[in-house]
Structure 1
Amino acid sequence: MTGQVVGLFDTPVVVDELPNAAAINAALKPLILARRAERPAGVTISNIGGWQSEHDVADWGGEPIQHLLRHIIALADAHCVDIISPGAPRHRWFTDIWANVSPPQASNQMHTHPGAFWSAVYYVDDGSGQQDGSLGGELIIEDPRMPMILMTMPNLRLRSPSGSVHEPQLKMKVRSGRIVMFPSWLSHGVVPHQGSRERISIAINLLAVPA
């Protein structure tokens, strides 16, 4: 066949490792566990079987959280541009941040973050110690265009310009120290992890507001 395939509407998903992660995680873990002990009820939004803090981690997370936020904001700035003023962006980032503690078999329902520009998750402790994501609990990111296509022919897939098969869901392996950042309109969730201990993560939304 001679038809040319042109890829449209590329969606960036950024995967990075936090500098000095071991030291940051060693500081963050006791802070998060102490907060859970103080407020064991937490909040329930998308979490199933785990604890979620209020959205106030920046108030009690100290320098470790500020270190993480500086890195997340730098990633956000590196992967978007103000097309009217590329050299001097006319926005600032408002951060919304919370902590999660998920025992084995805990999960998160599929959901989105309306109003935010970027969403990110950082893994303080992946709950396994394997550091290779082999014990499940993947972050699932879903292509919002695919459910309608899959209704009538659930095993039919599109091919990308490179010839690879386009899957409706992306499974992101997790490990301690890893950051995954994606546009906030992408539906995402977490499947139950099979680790031997609690998983601890930090979730961040970045909202772009006029400077």
Structure 2
Amino acid sequence: MTRTIAQIETDAGTDELRRDDYFPTLIYSSMLNDRASLNEEILTAIYAEREKDTTGIERSNIRALGGWHSHNNLHKEQAFSNLTKRVNKILTGVSSNLGYDTASYLTISTMWSITNPPGSSNRAHVHPGALWSGVYYVQAPEGAGNISFTDPRTEQIMNAASYLPNKKRKTECWSKVNVKPVAGKLLFFPSWLYHSVAPNLAQGEGNEAERIIISFNISQRKRQKKK
């Protein structure tokens, strides 16, 4: 969308300065209205998974610091079906907003849980093989660690601009975006967008101090034609 941002006075008269915003990086979010009861249900299912596999797998999480990562097919398990259906339902809004082909639909292709006790974090990474990715915060005590999205443009490794000191930059000029985790919040972001998670600095001991999430990858699939 083109918009006028300034009228510049010159010796020859007034010149109009206009701006077009192209190639935006989009992040969608939603606060689920029944998050309290849903999170209680999901926590029970996550703890059951962790009891079956106490070691877990190591990917973006740092297992040596206590992070636990489940297998990647939680969306196929009945215990997580309510969340899976809910996410897929909300994804219809993303498809509609972006004007995706109605002959296709967005759906979860892989889903897993990560638990981060105090001191643990997640390395910067992307999610190959998917169109969108997402995270749902099941438990996020104060200080649990922000998720950080890094500017993917090559500008940051070429010649970064200088900005006015002690003045907040416009959001389109940020090189990193930090989002505070809140229990019940759902985020969708492009799978190619680098993201990391700061160390969990929550106070306390035991399960209540853990940052607990459900993450997922999202693919676009063709609808089957009715016979």
TM range, smaller chain: 0.7 to 0.9
Aligned to 1:11, what secondary structure does the other structure show? coil
Relative distance call for 1:45 and 1:191 in structure 2 (3 A) is same
* Pairing 1:180–2:197 present: no
Match among 60, 76, 90 for residue 104 of structure 2: 90
Matched ranges for 1:20-169 at <5 A: 20-48=34-62, 49=65, 50-62=67-79, 65-81=80-96, 85=101, 88-91=102-105, 93-126=107-140, 128=141, 130=142, 135=143, 137-145=145-153, 148-151=154-157, 153-154=159-160, 156=162, 164=170, 166-169=173-176
| Structure 2 equivalent of residue 160 of structure 1 | none
Deviation at 1:36, TM superposition (A): 1.1
1:8-19 → structure 2 map (5 Å cutoff): 8-19=22-33
Runs ≥4 residues deviating over 6 A: none
Deviation at 1:171, TM superposition (A): 0.5
Q: Percent sequence identity over matched residues?
A: 26
Greater C-alpha radius of gyration: 2
Equivalent residue letter for 2:119? Q
Q: Once the 2 structures are TM-superposed, how far is the Cα of residue 30 of structure 1 from its aligned partner?
A: 2.1
Give the conservation status (yes or no) of the 8 Å contact 1:76–1:118: no
- Give the stretch that moved more between structures: 9-18 or 173-182: 9-18
Work out the number of aligned pairs and report it: 195
Contact 1:43-1:54 at 8 Å conserved across structures: yes
Aligned partners of 1:155, 1:4: CA distance in 2, in Å?
Answer: 20
| 1:80 aligned counterpart, secondary structure | helix
Per-residue CA distance 1:133-184 (angstroms, 9 max, x = gap): xx25111111210xx4334655636xxxxx8251111101111111111111
Q: 1:199 aligns with which of 192, 208, 211?
A: 211
TM-score by length of 1: 0.82
The structure with higher relative contact order (CA 8 Å, sep 6+) is 1
CA distance in 2, matches of 1:176, 1:35: 20
CA pair 187-34 structure 1, distance change in 2 beyond 3 A = same
Contact 1:107 1:192 in 2 (8 A): yes
TM-score by length of structure 2 reads: 0.77
- Distance change >3 Å, CA 60–CA 71, structure 1 → 2: closer
SS of residue in 1 equivalent to 2:19: coil
| Cα displacement (A) at 1:118 | 1.4
Q: Which consecutive unaligned segments of at least 5 residues does structure 2 have?
A: 1-7, 9-15, 164-168, 204-208
Please list every run of 5 or more consecutive structure 1 residues that lacks an aligned counterpart in the other structure.
158-162
Q: Which residue does the alignment assign to 2:20?
A: 6
1:23-57: CA deviation from partner (whole Å, max 9, x where unpaired): 11111112211211221110001102300001121
